[in-house]
Structure 1
Amino acid sequence: MALILTFLGKGGVGKTTVAIAAARSFARQGKRVLLVGQQAGPSLSQMLGVDLDCDAKEVMTGFNAVHLESTTLLERYWEKMKNLESQYLRTPFFKEVYGQELGILPGMDTALGLSFLRERDAEGKYDVLIYDGIGDLIALRMLGMPEILGWYLRRFRLVLTGSAIGQALSPFVEPILRSVLQVSATEDITQQAGQMTDVLSRGQQAVSNPDRVAAYLVTTSDAIAISTAKYMWGSAQQVGLTVGGVFARGHVAADEFAPLPVEAIAENLTELAIPMAANLAPAPMAIDVSTRQVRLFLPTFDKRQVKLIQSGPEVTIEAGDQRRNIFLPPELVGKQATGAKFQDSYLIISFG
């Protein structure tokens, strides 16, 4: 399993430069590194001096890079799905649709990027995966996808299981799950949903583990850049992603991002050592069954910007244009939220 890192901040502050410097530093340490770029245009290729595509190219010893092209990835996944479909269906449904003619719909880039990262992680060829994405909120939604899809699966499983639409969709679920999520063959939609739940659960656990997945903020001394970085910090907590520190060009006061460490970086940055997030940052969420409390670390937000909704065994927190669904442990299921308060950047929810 690889360490997966990403960098968040306002456009133009140098996130790609920081990502490249971090990749070089890890490679110098003997780590096997893959830098995954998914931005518009050839800027990453130009900065590295390597003509990149969806297949890994060597930049230096231990440091490879790719530039994801959604059209290419979609074509590859589509052909994989058609091959699997022919194994499970007597009359394949998609055989007359060709990957080369598929257009990219909104959201496909995110799903394709997540699937690519998951496959590279599962291969075990790399120690570090660095993701340089197409947009910060989009990157956060991508990393939050396992939790979000898990919620949809929990909510709609009972609707699909045994229903007419569920039985109609059942023959097509298997090829899709196998091609995108890489789960094994099953007999019915309930078992398929169970395997999908397991895959999503592992993804959610990885995102919430700072030893596996972490983000770092990048900013300049500009007030708007600092404000954007703070917003990204709070939004990252909403997907359960730990932010481990701040890299700043120019002077940024240490207390701007307390308790995160702020490290000044040079304009001509070539290598950058990354501190381990688990040692530096507060956990995004903690559940204390003994005190019947859920504590969420939501820096940069105040109570006016947060909405709390309780529905059945779950609590939904809305902040930073993100929603987080918290599935309560058995000890708190059925307990009603009796209060919520902000204290030292934490939203503390108490249950009766």
Structure 2
Amino acid sequence: MRILLFTGKGGVGKTTIAAATAARLARDGRKTLVVSTDAAHSLADALDTRLRPDPSEVDSNLFASHVDSRELVDRSWPRLREQARGVLAGLGIDELDAEELTVLPGVDELLALGEVARLAAAGTWDVVIVDCGPTAETLRLLALPEAIARYVDRLFGKRVLREALRTLADHLTELRRVLTDPDVTSVRLVFTPERVVVAETRRTLTALALRGIQVDELIANRLAPKARRWGGPAGAWLRTRRGEQDVVLGQLESSVTAPVRVLEHRAAEPVGSAALLELADELYAEWGPLDGPGGERVPLLDVQRTGDGYLLRIALPLPDDSALNLARVGDELAITVDGLRRLIALPAALRRYEVVDAEASQAGLVLRLRPEVTA
């Protein structure tokens, strides 16, 4: 089974492209589930049908559902909160403090991600397509399993918490495993070729790389149609606009390893299976939704011996204007890029070494390490 996550800045057309991809895969004979975690409920509009939390058949081989995060919270959180309150009370935390501590930020996103995983596992799907929310929401969603798992790991040492947290820890571990397995899950970033949007796309590539999540394709949507034979002001405007977009697109393509698909702007909004399939046939004319070259699979960490030390390469795309900070935290390396932080466990061979030099480029970071000097 493959899981494809579609995201992008709000308004770039990610829902339409996710729906079109699902329709194309279903027509090709693959049993496909397309599920939305976006609170905007746009997937139902694109498919021109009503959707429920449980998958319903939209067309042959095509099923769809909409995850209602608020409904999940209302149904599941009271029980989980009571369990958490019991655990906290066992640690000597009084009733009022326990109530405050169990108001967990991000619980709705975590439950939504868990519901996607449940739906994926519950059916015999060939492909699960997830229409995620806008980029910022998606990054927060994808960061939750690792972030919360770290807190759970720290609490696991307390005997009173072990049984209460074991199920949650196992669930988070499985979510993390699925999200970071490039043979199962990949992200497709949808963007419009404008400088501001492309800048956000580059930052998103960095943020996803920090999480160990692969982006296998970028999709440039709403390019101005080519108007070589058009005269008059309209033709001149279209040629100017397309020229600007081509420049921005060329700059992006030269700085990323993932392939870029392009899709021209359409006069009418694609709604319903027929219109979505027409769009998909244009988008996937060169190679199919699952048949493309895919992004270059580069391991996050690569270690090379050199003289009396090591070179540690971190495959982290860094735009020129990135704010980067590195710090050593015990046996981990803390990397902060534009306010996003991740702790990366150093390979065992490097834990007695210190960073003496670092270089950053669009390809990532190269750290030079040498043995620690002891007094």
TM-score, with structure 1 as normaliser? 0.76
Q: Is the 8 A contact 1:146 1:204 kept in 2?
A: yes
Residue type at the aligned position of 2:262: A
Question: 1:226-305 residue pairs with structure 2 within 5 A?
Answer: 226-248=198-220, 249-250=222-223, 251-252=245-246, 253-258=249-254, 259-268=257-266, 270=276, 271=280, 272=284, 273-275=288-290, 279-283=294-298, 285-288=300-303, 290=305, 292-302=310-320, 305=323
1:82 positional shift: 9.7
Mark the CA change 1:84 to 1:325 in structure 2 (over 3 Å): closer, same or farther. Answer: closer
User: Are the aligned partners of 1:150 and 1:200 in contact in 2 as well (CA < 8 Å)?
Assistant: yes
1:138-217 aligned at under 5 Å gives the runs: 138-154=137-153, 156-157=154-155, 161-162=157-158, 167=160, 169=161, 173=164, 178=167, 181=168, 196=169, 199-217=171-189
Verify the 8 A CA contact 1:4 1:128 in the aligned structure 2.
Answer: yes
> Of residues 297, 306, 314 in structure 1, which corresponds to 2:324?
306
Which one of 347, 356, 360 corresponds to residue 338 of structure 1?
356
| C-alpha deviation, 1:205, in angstroms | 3.5
Larger radius of gyration: 2
SS at match of 1:58: strand
Note if contact 2:22-2:129 (Cα within 8 Å) is conserved in structure 1.
yes
Deviation, 1:275, is 4.8
Q: Secondary structure at the match of 2:336?
A: strand
Give the gaps of 5 or more residues in structure 2. 85-102, 224-244, 271-275, 371-375
How far does the alpha carbon of each residue in 1:44-63 deviate from its partner, in whole angstroms, 9 at most, with x for none? 21221221121112121111
Query: How many residues end up aligned between the 2 structures?
Result: 308
The alignment's C-alpha RMSD in Å is 3.1
In 1, the alpha carbon distance for the partners of 2:189 and 2:263 equals 12
Per-residue CA deviation, residues 275-303 of structure 1 (Å, 9 max, x unaligned), is: 56874334361232645343223324348
Asked whether the equivalents of residues 307 and 318 of structure 1 are also in contact (C-alpha less than 8 Å), the reply is yes
1:42 CA displacement: 3.4
Partner amino acid for 1:254? G
Give the TM-score normalised by the residue count of structure 2.
0.72
Find the counterpart in structure 2 of residue 193 from structure 1: none
Sequence identity (%): 28
Tell whether 2:110 aligns with 1:111. yes
Partner Cα separation in structure 2 for residue 226 and residue 82 of structure 1: 41
- The Cα shift of 1:260 comes to 2.8
Taking a change above 3 Å as real, the CA distance of residues 211 and 229 of structure 1, as seen in their structure-2 partners, is same
For residues 252 and 152 of structure 2, the distance between their equivalents in structure 1, rounded to whole angstroms, comes to: 39
> In structure 2, the residue corresponding to 1:283 is in which secondary structure?
coil
Question: What amino acid maps onto 1:69 in structure 2?
Answer: D
The equivalent of 2:76 in structure 1 is: 77
Deviations 1:237-270 (A, max 9, x none): 1211111222113144334233332221133462
3-state SS, counterpart of residue 45 of structure 1: helix
Counterpart-to-counterpart distance in 2, 1:153 and 1:204: 14
Task: Give how far 1:80 is off.
Answer: 7.3
